[in-house]
Structure 1
Amino acid sequence: MGFATEFNSVCKFKNGQELYELLEYGKCKMVKSGFRVYPTGQKVVAYTPEDEAIAIVRISASIAEINFQGEEVTAVEMDLVRKLNDEEAKMLTALAHELYFGD
């Protein structure tokens, strides 16, 4: 059992429902496998499941726990700061493919 620290400026959604809740309600909770530490208060760029930049969010809470199935998970709560405009989204998507998602 150990914690992985997330210091980069990327928040990648794997679940379309979580992303929908963020964009619709301005808040959401994303669940990641394993114990992780997300820096509360930090602003990060949110990416769709298709690796496209979509918004800037602020991490409001990071809760590591063992769920009822005995799995180590981390719930990350976030607030929408703002959606990106088309130009920002294209530039940040290209940059993330080179830095994080590429080969």
Structure 2
Amino acid sequence: MRKSFKLVFFLAVLTFAIPAYAEPQIVSGAKNLLNDATTWLLGLIPTAAGLMIGYHALMKQFNDDPTSASIHNKAMKNILVAGAIGVSAVGLVKAFLAYFQ
């Protein structure tokens, strides 16, 4: 009984004491840095993926070899998958950061 009372008292003190403490500057700076970096990544990943797909489509168009065409088709598919995974991962990080703001 005494042990559970100490635990409840400790949690109650923590609950009311948390707003009294300010967030360290390094923590708020890290959150701002991650938020800005993820904003840039959400723009750069689709742009780079689009440029790479355009490059492979252009190379596929200029080559008459069917083997080369299949290589470029596979590369375009891989770029689409990687771009979707990248944007999804950055979106999850951005959602996680939004929870703490």
| TM-score, structure 1 normalization | 0.25
Higher-Rg member (1/2): 2
Q: Which has the higher helix share?
A: 2
Structure number with higher relative contact order (C-alpha < 8 Å, ≥ 6 residues apart):
2
| TM-score, structure 2 normalization | 0.25
Q: Which has the higher strand share?
A: 1
